[in-house]
A and B are shown apart, each in its own frame.
Chain A
Amino acid sequence: MRTKTLLAAAAAALLLLPLACGPSKGLADYRLLMERNVCKKMRGDVLFYAIFIDTKNTRTWTDEEVRASVDSIKYAAQWLEQQAKTNGVPLRVKVSYLSSVRTVQKDLPNKTLMATIGGTGNENGVKALNKWADDVAKTAGGKMENKANPGDTIPVISNPKTCERLIAKLRDEHKVESVCLFFVLNSMVKEDGAVVMNRGSNKDVEYIVTSYNTSALYSFLALEEFGAIDFFSMPPETESYKIAQQNFPSDVMVNPFKKLGSLTVSPFTQYMIGWTKQVDKKYEVLFYPPKTASGGINMR
């Protein structure tokens, strides 16, 4: 149950985005998050790129832990490729990480991810985390090579100084349209949370900050960047949560804390990430975020 609460931060981030939402200032329709920002449809060539972060409040990464996390990301990538193949969708997920240094050291603005970003309406938290991510990108960018690819005609993006430029460089270097940028915290002992930032934004680039290091969670977060709905963080009393649990209990977006091998990408999630063009009419109710007193996604 505790992890559930922590993951809800992902939903919180959604509400804070400068998105043209309904009059309630909450997200009016999850479909508005489809095909937006860097990660649009999950097909073709995709890059998962990880940067491992050390902070004063998280455990210092060891080489072994970094390797284990990279393996988890690779497994998540393979699993997504397999799911895509099963459903007749071409998908190739490359995995890479900042390897010139083991970690980037940068304390979170407010000690922990949850303390920085937690709670709805925390616009300052979003701004602070975006600045933190830019600072990490700048440090990481300073450690990256600036070599040109054969045939390049425009100067390469050298030593990016913001998250956006880092993603632009990764797209250019790896020749991919979509980049999932993971900032990975080491919370092997003390779990903190995970957020997908800016996925509805027309101004800031999207990225992920996570303290969870399981393959299922990497898949879950990547799918969310591509438009999938996080059912797991919804209040259990809501209709959407109940429908999702009853109809798609093995969907990774419904139960991301199960073993990845036992999970799937349900037809509904497939629609949200652009694998299918239609969804069963009876599930259309799931497009609308559960109502709360404040009119947005309910928080536990």
Chain B
Amino acid sequence: MRYLSCLLLVLLLTNCSLFRKGKVDVRYGMDNNACKKMQGKALMYLVFVDTKTTKPWSNFDLASALDSARKAAKWLEKQAKDNNHILNISVDYYGSKSKTKTISKELPKASIYESLDGLTLETSINKLNKYADDLCKKIISTAFPSQSKGSKISAREKLVNLLRDKYNVEHVALMFMFNNYYMEDFSITTNTMSKEETEYAMTSYKNPSLIASQVLSLFGAAGMGEYYLKKRNKNAKWAREQFPNDIMINAFRPIEELEIGPYTQYMIGWTDVIEKKYEKLFYIDAEKVKK
């Protein structure tokens, strides 16, 4: 797992107005999109996707991935409680009440990593957005057949709206799960700062820390730079010293050892103020992100 060092990638692009003087301000992801402040009722909605290049979901893998998601949800709830916030996260998945548990749909390229390797990151994300929309259309047509026609909004947005109504929740973390039990690939969250495109996650592994960190990312948490900038980046190194056990820096450590640090708490709306010294982490070099 350590091989692809930037497995957890937060894709910032899709809204060029976020970039000013070559810097992007990660606060655009706060209180935004399908997952706003991390409080109240939320739904983690998993979609198990089969492709020809990832491995088909088996009973064991599906069950253990669900266990991990539930563990992640409980951990997030406990972290919220410990910090005096009310958070209830339901976990459900496409097909939980039907015979068909998975959806087959080929990725734009062989892997998430390769799918991102396009001419520009924008075009790659557009392709992934279309891919996610195609999956959502399939979900809507089988899980909400009466709602499957006539809509001007994207299938992603429509599905999120339908899920909010059905589960009576404010926030929906839409997560597409891929089975890579022995292979390696990226896990990404995308559109987290967009005002137009609905956000979602694509998850390549079933470890609870990774799943929890992706949910946090959908709620506005930022990766503090180390995932998309080089390790020698000063801010990333500094963040690691400041928050040695923050989950947004350590998505592959056991979840029991981790916490949600002050910076991440601010980003997900648990606190209203943040120490001035942490403000430098708000800005990420957009050019490096694009590269």
Contact = CB atoms under 8 A, between A and B. Distances in A.
Interface string B178-205: 0001111000000000000000000000
Contact of B62 (A34, A154, A168, A169): A154
A38 B101 contact: no
Contacts of B62: 153-154
- The CB with the most chain A CB atoms within 10 A, among B102, B182, B183, B184, is that of B182
A12 B62 CA distance: 36
Given A20-B3, A154-B101, A149 B181 contact: no
Nearest to B64: A177
B52 interface: no
Contacts of A130: none
A30 to B, nearest CB: 12
Contact of B59 (A32, A164, A172, A177): A172
B58 A154 contact: yes
Nearest to B55: A168
Contacts of A206: 182
B3 A152 contact: no
B184 A202 contact: yes
B59 A36 contact: no
B149 interface: no
A38 B2 contact: no
Nearest to B179: A168
Given A38-B181, A202-B183, A171 B58 contact: yes
Interface string A24-63: 0000000110111110100000000000000000000000
Contacts of B55: 164, 168
Question: Which bucket holds chain A's interface residue count?
Answer: 20 to 34
Contact of B57 (A40, A154, A177): A154
A40 B1 contact: yes
A109 B59 CA distance: 35
Contacts of A131: none
B61 interface: yes
Contacts of B61: 171-172
Interface string B60-94: 11101000000000000000000000000000000
A157 interface: yes
A175 B3 CA distance: 26
B56 to A, nearest CB: 8
Interface string A133-171: 000000000000000010111101100000010011101
B279 to A, nearest CB: 32
A154 B102 contact: yes
B196 to A, nearest CB: 35
Given A203-B183, A206-B182, A149 B59 contact: yes
B60 A36 contact: no
Contacts of B102: 154
Interface in A192-226: 202-203, 205-206
Given A35-B1, A164-B55, A206-B182, A153 B101 contact: yes
A31 B58 CA distance: 29
Contacts of A205: 182
Contacts of B1: 35-36, 40
A167 B55 CA distance: 12
A106 B58 CA distance: 29
Nearest to B183: A202
A168 B179 CA distance: 11
Contacts of A36: 1, 3, 184
Contacts of A32: 2-3
Given A171-B181, A202-B183, A203-B183, A35 B2 contact: yes
Contacts of A152: 59
Contacts of A40: 1
A20 B3 CA distance: 9
Contacts of B58: 154, 157, 168-169, 171-172
- The CB with the most chain A CB atoms within 10 A, among B2, B60, B62, B102, is that of B60
A175 B60 contact: yes
B104 to A, nearest CB: 13
Contact of A31 (B2, B181, B182, B183): B2
A156 B59 contact: yes
Nearest to B180: A202
Contact of A172 (B3, B60, B101, B183): B60
27 contacts: A20-B3, A31-B2, A32-B2, A35-B1, A35-B2, A36-B3, A36-B184, A37-B182, A38-B182, A151-B59, A153-B59, A153-B99, A153-B101, A154-B58, A154-B62, A164-B55, A168-B55, A168-B181, A169-B58, A171-B58, A171-B60, A171-B61, A171-B181, A172-B60, A172-B61, A177-B181, A203-B183
Q: Which 9 pairs show the lowest CB-CB distances between chains A and B?
A: A172-B58, A172-B60, A38-B182, A152-B59, A37-B182, A35-B1, A154-B59, A202-B183, A202-B184
